[in-house]
A and B are shown apart, each in its own frame.
Chain A
Amino acid sequence: MQVYLPIAEVSVNAFLLFGLGGLVGILSGMFGVGGGFLMTPLLFFIGIPPAVAVATEANQIVASSFSGVLAHFRRQTVDLKMGLVLLVGGLIGAAVGVVVFNYLKSLGQVDLLVRLCYVMFLGIVGGLMFIESLNAIRKSRKAGGAPVATRRQRSWVHALPFKMRFRTSGLYISVIPPIGVGILVGILAAIMGVGGGFIMVPAMIYILGMPTKVVVGTSLFQIIFVTAFTTLLHATTNFTVDIVLAVLLLVGGVVGAQIGTQIGLRMKAEQLRILLALMVLVVCGKLAMDLLLQPTELYTLGAPGGH
């Protein structure tokens, strides 16, 4: 069934979009990532113009994150207080990110910079998580399956002022690191056109020391607001949100997110992390290959004034 998208001005197969939405939705529910870093390149691949893909993806992430976060609310695995603190940083970061993005655009080569950003961050985050979770699994095997208590380490994070108690996460830490993480993720999210979950999740686990079960719900909670903000920005400045495309994607996406959340709750934290790490590394590898190998078509068409 072909559907003509009014803003993207292309005709695509509706079932293909349902499928893509569902697949990314499952991952989103499982790992608490918006899935934008997977979906946006997939949309480029099926011929959606990049500007429309990025903007519409933000709208779709709102839907799948909302669907996912409701499931987490019921299980009380959302740290609202932490989410709000992260959100404050996130919105500041997003605003800064838009300014940075426009500055880079005026310099040219913004496309390349976005790609390099992807490769670098996906590589670092994926690699670190992979090694860490592999070690955790090994350790827990040695200890005969006993749970590992590694997260109560005292580090520089605990030495900062403005301490706040985050009951759901069982943390008593300064608000400076969460706000800092929020800002950093907000900047990257605006530049890379994603929700930023794949950076947020590891940052929450490794920098803030939050328990993995709470991390996913809290990350989704924060992503809803940042992507809603981004959607409105794109809709009012670039007119690139395609509502028909968004609806097709989110029908699959919201269902997928529910399934993903169920799967995620049944899996061990280490297994969850190692899977997310592997997925991040695969996407990173694909993007790196695109940069390193000679493309079959050396020429591309772009909108004028983009350099």
Chain B
Amino acid sequence: MARWFLLTLVLMVPGLAASEEVVLGLSSDQVSITTSFDGDEILIFGAVKREEPIPTGPPLEVVITVAGPSDPITVWRKARKFGIWVNSDAVEVDLAPSFYAVASSGPLNSVLSNTEDLRYKITVDRAIRSVGAPSGIEDTMSFTDALIRIRENAGLYQNLENAVAVDQQTLFRTAIEMPANLTEGNYATRIFLTRDGQVISDYETVIDVRKVGLERWLFTLSRQQPLLYGLMSLAIAIAAGWGASAAFRLMRNG
């Protein structure tokens, strides 16, 4: 598989208040979905740039999030009616990321305070936006919990505690596993530096996930020339059917 290894070191424009800033590197800022795409691993690494000596007190911690494009989604709950199990209640989740990974250098509840989590929407629960629950359903929470559970089981939501290695309070790195069933789009990658649960600096970049080659061509064709695409599908089907029939006849006769 052809894989692009682009090392991009991006220097951030020095902020005003922050005395510690992130200098980031990615093993690749682009994930190419080819026909043989079977998931990918993205290495995220970087350094903390500072003008002063390392501050004393609580150690530096790092939290990294990678979020896929968000879409509205409906969560259905089945209930037993007339002896059979049917979808009965639905909660509309306004925006849920198609992929979400949170990696942290320690247990999340110790490296990040609740208020900071709320402010920056870091954990999966916060990243999902759900407001429009229909009246009559009290336990809205159980629907969003189910959404998270189902996607966690599919490897789409990952909670990676203690997965970021931090050296000398300066260098950090982590690896994020991207599953095979990725959707296209811009994957927002955020890095937070925290001390004592408070975010002292944050940095954002984008990993570009794109279909390439044949995948790209077919996808575009199916959207822009649907009739042609449909006719092409039929032509292939007819040709394959005829080909197999002819081949079999040859085999049986000779």
A contacts, CB < 8 Å to B: 1-4, 6-7, 9-11, 47, 59-60, 62-68, 70-71, 74, 109, 111-112, 228, 231-232, 234-236, 239, 241, 243-244, 246-247, 250-251, 254-255, 257-258, 290-295, 297-307
Contacts and interface: CB of A to CB of B under 8 A. Distances in A.
A244 B229 contact: no
A241 B229 contact: yes
Given A3-B36, A235-B227, A67 B74 contact: no
Interface string B215-243: 11011001100110111111011101111
A250 B226 contact: no
A70 B72 contact: no
Q: Which of A59, A60, A68, A304 has the most CB of B within 10 A?
A: A304
A111 B88 CA distance: 12
Contact of A244 (B33, B77, B180, B218): B218
A7 B245 CA distance: 28
Contacts of B240: 63, 67, 247, 250-251, 254
Contacts of A241: 222, 229-230, 233
A255 B248 CA distance: 8
Contacts of B86: 109, 112, 291
Interface stretch (B53-61, B108-116, B118-126, B143-151): B143-151
A11 B237 contact: no
For chain A, what secondary structure do more than half of its interface residues adopt (helix, strand, loop), or is it mixed? helix
Q: Which of A2, A47, A68, A234 has the most CB of B within 10 A?
A: A2
Contact of B236 (A70, A247, A305): A247
Contact of A302 (B39, B76, B222): B76
B247 to A, nearest CB: 8
A66 B238 contact: yes
B236 A246 contact: yes
A265 B50 CA distance: 81
Contact of B150 (A74, A258, A297): A297
A258 B147 contact: no
B226 to A, nearest CB: 4
Interface residues of B, number: 62
A292 B249 CA distance: 47
Contacts of B248: 71, 255, 258
Q: Which of B151, B231, B233, B238 has the most CB of A within 10 A?
A: B233
B2 to A, nearest CB: 14
Given A63-B240, A67-B240, A301-B73, A236 B87 contact: no
Contact of A254 (B33, B78, B151, B244): B244
Given A66-B237, A71-B245, A258-B244, A9 B150 contact: no
A266 B179 CA distance: 47
Contacts of B211: 6
18 contacts: A2-B37, A3-B35, A62-B234, A66-B242, A67-B241, A235-B229, A236-B226, A255-B244, A290-B85, A291-B84, A298-B78, A298-B79, A299-B143, A299-B146, A300-B78, A301-B74, A301-B150, A303-B73
Interface of B: 33-39, 71-80, 83-87, 90, 92, 143, 146-147, 149-151, 180-184, 211, 214-216, 218-219, 222-223, 226-227, 229-234, 236-238, 240-245, 248-249
A92 to B, nearest CB: 21
A305 B74 CA distance: 8
A304 B74 contact: yes
Nearest to A71: B245
Nearest to A307: B90
Nearest to A4: B37
A156 B23 CA distance: 85
A70 B234 contact: no
A10 B33 CA distance: 11
Contact of B34 (A4, A246, A304): A4
Nearest to A251: B240
Contact of B37 (A11, A112, A250, A301): A11
Nearest to B72: A304
Contacts of B73: 301-304
B234 A231 contact: yes
B80 A294 contact: yes
B35 A298 contact: no
A246 B235 CA distance: 12
Contact of B35 (A4, A64, A250, A302): A4
A292 B120 CA distance: 44
Contacts of A239: 222-223, 226
A194 to B, nearest CB: 16
B182 A9 contact: yes
Given A109-B87, A236-B230, A302-B74, A7 B241 contact: no
A60 B216 CA distance: 22
A287 to B, nearest CB: 11
Given A4-B34, A231-B233, A232-B231, A298 B77 contact: yes
